Amino acid sequence: MTFTSARKLEHIDIVRKGGVEPQETTLLEYVRIVHRSLPEANLEDIDLSVKLCGRELGAPLIITGMTGGHPDVEPINAAIAEVAEKFGIAMGVGSQRAAIEDSSMIHTFSVVRERAPHAFIVANLGGAQLAKGYGVKEALKAVEMIRADAIAIHLNIGQELFQDEGDTKFSGVLEKVAELVEEMPVPVIVKEVGTGLSAEDISALRSVGVKCFDVAGLGGTNWIKIEALRSKAKHGAPLRDPASIADLWGNPTAIAIVEARNAAPDAYIIGSGGLRDGHDVAKAIALGADVGGFAAPALRALSAGREGLERYVSQILYQLKAAMLMSGSKRPQDLWLAGITIWGRLKDELESRGINIGSYLNSRAMTLLWRRRDNDI
C-alpha cells in the first residue's frame, strides 16, 4: 500500500468526525427564491431530469468525488454508486492517483461501475499531478478503470500548499488541460475542492475548450482545514500553519456560481460547496448552476448504512421538488426564470466584481432560451 493510499483513509476519517467547515459561509443565505402561491401546477408535474455535460440525469444532483484508493473505503464507493444508480444522479470518485500508482487499489474505484452500470460516473485526477507529468495516458487509465462518462481535473492548490507533503509547483496545468480536452474521448470537468473557481479561471479554461465546471466554493468542506487538522494530529501543531486562511480564504459558493455562469454562459456548471439540503440546491440552480453537488454529507449519512444515504438523497429531492413547485418551476432550469432576490454582502461582492445583478438575472433567461433551442438542457 502506498503513502498516497494511506492518506486517503486519513482524509475520510477526518471528514467523518466533522469540524472541517470554515467560519466563512456559502453566502447562499443572501439569496431568496420568491414564493408563488399560485404555481398552477401539481407536485406530480415536477420533472427533475436535466442534462449534465450532454448526458441526461434523473435529477440535478451529483455526489462529488472524495473516496477511493484504500481497501477500507471500497464499501463507501460501492454504497454511493448503488444510491446514484437508484436515483439516476451522478457520482464522482476521489483522486485515482492511488490506483495509478498501485494497481491493487483499482477495485476500490472500479466497484463503482459494477454497482452503477447506468449512472453518470466521473473519473478524477489532480491538476498538481498534471504539473508533475501526468497527461493523456494517465487520464485514459482513470477513465477506463471505471468506464467513466467524464473526467474531472481537480484544482486544489490550497490543500497542496498546507499538506505536509503537498506539491508547490502548479505551472503548466492549463496547457495540460487543453491537451486533455483535445484528446480525451469523454468530457473534461474542471473542479475546485472547496475554495471556489473564479471568473478569471473559468474564462481561461473556457478559452481552451473546457465546457464543464464544478465551482466547489468556500463554505463547505475545507481541505486546507483538513490538512491542518491532519498535520496537527501527527505533530502536535501544523507543519504549515494556515492561520486565518483555513477559515476565510476562497470564493464563496454563491459568488463562484454567478461568476462561472457570467463568464461562460454556455457551460455546464455544478454548484457545490456547502450545499446541505434541497433548498440549497434550488438556490444554487436559481443562481445559474445546472446541478447541485455535495460530498461530505454523503459520507456522514452513510454512518447509518446505504439506507441512511438513500433517505438523505430522497429528502433532498423532495425538498427540491417542493421548492420548485413553490416557485412556479416545473423543470430544474425553470428556476433560472424564477424570481429571486440577492442582497447584503453577496450583492456587494458581486457588484464589486463588476457584475450587475439585474443584468445578470436577465441573462439567465437568455441562456435558457439558447439552451432550449439547442436541446442542451
Can you say which residues are annotated as belonging to the binding site? 7-8, 64-67, 95-97, 124, 159-160, 191, 221, 274-276, 295-296
* CA angle, 160 then 162 then 163, to 5°: 65
Looking at the DSSP bridge assignments, the partners of residue 342 are 31
CA 329/CA 282 separation, integer angstroms:
10
CA 206/CA 169 separation, integer angstroms:
23
* CA angle, 219 then 220 then 226, to 5°: 115
Residue ranges of the binding site for Mg(2+): 160
Q: Which helix (H) or strand (E) holds 56?
A: strand 55-57
All cell numbers assigned to 102: 498501485
Separation of first and last alpha carbons in the chain:
43
Residue ranges of the binding site for FMN: 64-67, 95, 124, 191, 221, 274-276, 295-296
Residues 217/196, Cβ–Cβ less than 8 Å: yes
| CB proximity list for 40: less than 8 A, separation 6 or greater | 328
Tell me the Cα Rg of the chain. Answer: 19
Residue ranges of the binding site for substrate: 7-8, 95-97, 159
